[in-house]
């Protein structure tokens, strides 16, 4: 299973010379199975470059949305495969009690916000509510669960041949300023438990978090505690705050690990990084 980070930023794209190493595009991750199964996790601004790189011969693309906040769907209308005649595309999103997924996505993919309507896309498009029981896409088994973030939001755990990854880009595991070390009190804990690779929200520093309680995001210290409790093998920091430049993100990682021996491998989430994950190993290729 191969995972590539195409967008690692949270809340708002933040392109500029001060964000070159970590990247300025909002959340988008590609997952490729051994059998050619092709998943896209979220449709932030990073999906534009991904779309240009998707080979035309891929028969099916599945886009799994964690939620419908703008930073996670803003790149959707710029995803090239949506404009390929007959391309099979499946979009999955968390269910809502008000509108179905088509109705909610159509609010963005329609004038005046966007010139092309969802119904006018030439691809072969199917929309699904994400089930909260395991389902399969090709050779990948996917499990979703609701997590603590404003609005209907899910995280995903994806398994192939014994190798597992978990994607939780927007998640607030702490209750207010307290982190209760009890799995039953932490949303999404079963998704994270003993996963081989965890991609997780690390938006705030410990000092910033008290001013953002209830916003649905993690302090980096909370993410480290969660990864330790859940016996995660590898952690990728993600959903970086738009105000955090490369130097700040380096500093957050250094401070979070200061004076402690981490029980997991730590990989700062940099746009362009790829992970090739198997049952027993993980090859990491950093962006050049």
Count of other CB atoms within 10 angstroms of residue 270? 19
Predicted local confidence at residue 158, as pLDDT: 98
- Which CATH number goes with the domain that contains 68? 3.60.15.10
Number of domains composing the chain? 1
Give the model confidence (pLDDT) of 227-274 as tens digits. 999 999 999 999 999 999 999 999 999 998 888 899 999 999 999 999
Give the residue, 183 or 77, on which the prediction is more confident. 77
E-strand stretches of the chain? 2-7, 28-32, 38-41, 60-64, 88-93, 124-129, 135-137, 140-146, 154-160, 163-168, 197-201, 234-238, 265-267, 274-277, 282-285
User: 38-41 and 60-64: which strand pairing?
Assistant: parallel
Give the model confidence (pLDDT) of 33-92 as tens digits. 999 999 999 999 999 999 999 998 999 999 999 999 999 999 999 999 999 999 999 999
Range of the domain at 63: 2-285
Cα distance between residue 181 and residue 82, in whole Å: 43
| Chain-centre distance for alpha carbon 271 | 12
The average pLDDT across 169-184 equals 83
């Amino acid at each position: 299973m191969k995972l590539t980070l195409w967008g690692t930023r949270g809340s708002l794209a933040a392109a500029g010379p001060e964000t070159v190493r970590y990247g300025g595009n909002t959340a988008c991750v590609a997952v490729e199975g051994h059998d050619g199964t092709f998943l896209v996790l979220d449709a932030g601004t990073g999906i534009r470059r991904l779309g240009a790189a998707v080979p035309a011969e891929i028969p099916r693309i599945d886009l799994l949305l964690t939620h419908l906040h703008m930073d996670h769907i803003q790149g959707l209308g710029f995803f090239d495969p949506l404009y390929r005649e007959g391309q099979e595309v499946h979009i999955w999103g968390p269910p809502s009690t008000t509108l179905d997924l088509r109705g909610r996505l159509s609010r963005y993919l329609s004038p005046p916000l966007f010139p092309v309507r969802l119904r006018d896309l030439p691809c072969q498009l199917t929309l699904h509510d994400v089930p909260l029981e395991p389902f399969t896409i090709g050779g990948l088994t996917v499990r979703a669960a609701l997590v603590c973030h404003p609005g209907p939001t899910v995280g995903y755990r994806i398994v192939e041949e014994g190798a597992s990854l978990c994607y939780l880009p927007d998640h607030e595991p702490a209750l207010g300023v307290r982190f209760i070390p009890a799995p039953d009190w932490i949303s999404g804990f079963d998704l994270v438990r003993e996963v081989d690779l965890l991609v997780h929200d690390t938006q705030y520093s410990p000092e910033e978090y008290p001013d953002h309680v209830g916003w649905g995001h993690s302090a980096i210290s909370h993410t480290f505690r969660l990864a330790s409790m859940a016996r995660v093998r590898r952690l990728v920091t993600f959903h970086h705050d738009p105000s955090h430049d490369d130097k700040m993100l380096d500093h957050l990682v250094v401070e979070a690990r200061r004076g402690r021996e981490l029980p997991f491998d730590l990989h700062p989430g940099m746009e362009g990084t790829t992970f090739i994950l198997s049952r027993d190993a993980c090859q990491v290729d950093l962006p050049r």
